[in-house]
Amino acid sequence: SQKIEQNSEALNIQEGKTATLTCNYTNYSPAYLQWYRQDPGRGPVFLLLIRENEKEKRKERLKVTFDTTLKQSLFHITASQPADSATYLCALVVQNRYGGSQGNLIFGKGTKLSVKP
């Protein structure tokens, strides 16, 4: 069966350290993968997108890798800050019935990151 799993429900780290979150999937062939941030009581906010032919993507303190052989994406936050505390969701894009790969995001359950000062 198809599954998408994020490594842990919660991750606690010290300020200044690098947070690494994992997203694994089985029985999907995603065209690309996205990471979102969700704060309590709010909707998810898009952070980064990485395509299947890209190994790594960076945006400021964020870095995402995508290994289609391992069926895994890693999401890194360097020099973490308490303001980075939130739940981070990975999402796979799978093909929809209209022929494109838009419209069908499959979300993981999320990892709740807590950065302690």
Partner 1 sequence: NAGVTQTPKFRILKIGQSMTLQCAQDMNHNYMYWYRQDPGMGLKLIYYSVGAGITDKGEVPNGYNVSRSTTEDFPLRLELAAPSQTSVYFCASSYVDLGIETDTQYFGPGTRLTVL
Residue ranges binding partner 1 (CB under 8 A):
4, 9, 31-32, 34, 41-46, 49, 89, 93, 96-98, 100-110
Q: What is the DSSP letter of 18?
A: P
CA distances from 64 to 33, 54, 61 (A): 10, 10, 10
Tell me the pairing of strands 45-51 and 56-59.
Answer: unpaired
Closest contact distance (angstroms) between CB of 46 and partner 1 is 5
Closer to partner 1 by CB, 34 or 80: give it: 34
Closest contact distance (angstroms) between CB of 14 and partner 1 is 26
Closer to partner 1 by CB, 37 or 71: give it: 37
Closest contact distance (angstroms) between CB of 8 and partner 1 is 13
Token pair listed for 47: 């952070």
CA distances from 23 to 16, 20, 99, 117 (A): 23, 10, 26, 26
Closest contact distance (angstroms) between CB of 90 and partner 1 is 9
Closer to partner 1 by CB, 30 or 115: give it: 30
Closer to partner 1 by CB, 4 or 74: give it: 4
CA–CA gap between residue 117 and residue 113 (Å, rounded): 13
